[in-house]
Structure 1
Amino acid sequence: MYYNCGVNSYISGLSKSLGIKLSTTMATIGGAGLDWHLVKTYLRKDGLASYSTLNDGSNKLSFNKYPDGKVFEAVVLQDNSQGPIHPELSKFFKKYAAIHSKDIRETGAAPIFLMTWAYADKPEMTKQLADATTAVANENNALVIPAGLAFANALKQRPDLKLTVADNRHPTAAGTYLEAATILAALTKKSPEGASFLGGCEKPLKEKDAAFLQQVAWDTVKNFYGWK
């Protein structure tokens, strides 16, 4: 999530170019599982998104008020890339998925799980991660965002388009773009197709590649949820 200046910046760029009002923030720890995060503390009124810095050169702070105590509509949870299927780590994924889902719901927000993608040299992980993430999400009555399936679908159609960096795990700019487009489509039930945003962090994509990834994201989400 934190690669390429953060997937939340891509989600914001896509939503803004499509005229979708959306506010995002992100809390990441490199290599972390869900057990490394104390999500309950993030969601307090003076926690995440309690203030922001004005982007007008003044460096002044704007303090956000949440009279009803509800800060977020949804919280997307992602374990580390192999956590849900690792023989030693999967038990922590399952345990803390339940803990965090309960804490998230107590704030009035919806817990959501991000299905991650296979390592480039281990395509068999796609189904393993999809099954494990969906099973835990079902146990917690939560939505799944099928980013991993979107990666597999994109690579099937365009094996020439690299979605991971040299370590075979973390996303390239194209990978982050696809992840963001899939998240946006799942959260808003709107197609990312037609977005003019080509990526941030000084890594813009070619228009044809962005259009392809938008289409893959939308098709994957529609098929996964059974939307017409």
Structure 2
Amino acid sequence: MSISLKKLRLLAQASAFVLCLAVSGAALAASAPAVKGPQVESPKRVLLVGNSYLYYNDSLHNHLRRMVAAADADLGKALQYKSATIGGATLAHHNVDWLTGPGQIGIKEPFELVILQGHSAAALSEKRQADFRTAAAAHAKIIAERGGKVALYMTHAYVPPHKQAKPENTQLIDDFYVKTGNELGALVIPVGLAFDEAYKRDPEIKLHNAQDHSHPSLLGSYLAAATVYATIYGKSPVGNAYDAYGQVDAKTAAFLQQVAQDTVTGFFARK
């Protein structure tokens, strides 16, 4: 009997140890963002810097601007958005010093917020990670010197049959962007997590372009805009009337808006 009890105790201790490792692993996997909400109240002068992930489907900045205007007409009229994109670009390809110079691209006053979106594979190798961090740090320094704040756009993962699609990619992207955002004191916009959550809730939804399984579809761009809106304005997109001029049906819009809000709320609640 004593041997059996001893075995039970050992098994219990082993189980507790495994559970502890699992919890620790989960905690490490879901590292907390240091910046928990918008650093600029109702930003009007916003620059988005990135590549085709932004400019597909009539450009993310247009969907975002229309979503803001649908929620607050006065704020919508005051917006000064610009988007600087280069196909296939990394952050290092952009001359942020020139782009953010007052008046250079038609905005006389300095940008209040600059959203940086890197290459879709930026988190997937050590070299790409290092390149992204170097460029992001250099850009952040310039933006800060001009009185602006930085937000990092967490890209979504590839999906099959894309040759680089892997189940672990979303976690790699999440970890990398949170770590980099914390190093820079930058807001992180969890678009990649919103895509992942939408697929978990509805595996049949089509958020990726059917041709390459990398770029966003219109629904993907809509979800991204709702996630950016919830993150940088600190307001829920749920109930927003913008429907991409009838291209997103009411049920789908409501679904994507809720996913965006839940993702952002959960992301900022991490400890």
Q: Report the TM range for the smaller structure's normalisation.
A: 0.7 to 0.9
CA–CA distance in 1 between the matches of 2:124 and 2:133? 10
Give the corresponding residue for 1:62: none
Give the corresponding residue for 1:128: 172
CA–CA distance in 2 between the matches of 1:79 and 1:86? 13
CA–CA distance in 2 between the matches of 1:88 and 1:138? 20
Give the corresponding residue for 1:49: 106
2:262 to 209, 212, 219: 219
1:100 aligns with 2:143: no
1:176 to 218, 221, 237: 221
Residue 85 of structure 1 contacts residue 132 of structure 1 at CA under 8 Å; is this kept in 2?
A: no
1:84 positional shift: 2.6
- Which one-letter code corresponds to 1:220 in the other structure? T
Give the corresponding residue for 1:54: none
Q: TM-score, normalised by structure 2?
A: 0.73
> After superposition, where does 1:4-43 map in structure 2 within 5 Å?
4-19=57-72, 21-22=75-76, 23=79, 24-43=81-100
Residue 115 of structure 1 contacts residue 130 of structure 1 at CA under 8 Å; is this kept in 2?
A: yes
Identical aligned residues as a percent: 38
CA–CA distance in 2 between the matches of 1:26 and 1:159? 31
1:204 aligns with 2:247: yes
Q: Pairwise CA RMSD of aligned residues?
A: 1.5
1:3 positional shift: 0.4
CA–CA distance in 2 between the matches of 1:78 and 1:27? 10
Structure 2: gaps of 5 or more residues: 1-53
CA–CA distance in 2 between the matches of 1:126 and 1:199? 27
1:144 to 180, 188, 198: 188
1:124 positional shift: 2.0
- Which one-letter code corresponds to 1:40 in the other structure? D
- Which one-letter code corresponds to 1:213 in the other structure? L
More deviation, 40-49/28-37: 40-49
CA displacement 1:122-148 (0-9 Å, x = unmatched): 232111111111111111111100000
1:165 aligns with 2:209: yes
Q: TM-score, normalised by structure 1?
A: 0.87
1:193 aligns with 2:238: yes
Give the corresponding residue for 2:50: none
**Secondary structure in 2 matching 1:76:** strand
1:28 positional shift: 0.4
More deviation, 87-96/150-159: 87-96
Structure 1: gaps of 5 or more residues: 51-64
1:48 positional shift: 2.5
1:89 positional shift: 2.0
Q: Aligned residue pairs: how many?
A: 207
CA–CA distance in 1 between the matches of 2:150 and 2:156? 20
1:113 positional shift: 0.3
CA–CA distance in 2 between the matches of 1:86 and 1:210? 34
- Which one-letter code corresponds to 1:193 in the other structure? V
- Which one-letter code corresponds to 2:201 in the other structure? Q
CA displacement 1:141-169 (0-9 Å, x = unmatched): 11100000000000000111100012111
**Secondary structure in 1 matching 2:152:** strand
- Which one-letter code corresponds to 1:189 in the other structure? G
Give the corresponding residue for 1:72: 111
CA–CA distance in 2 between the matches of 1:73 and 1:215? 27
**Secondary structure in 2 matching 1:3:** helix
Report which of the two structures shows the higher radius of gyration computed on alpha carbons: 2
- Which one-letter code corresponds to 2:121 in the other structure? Q
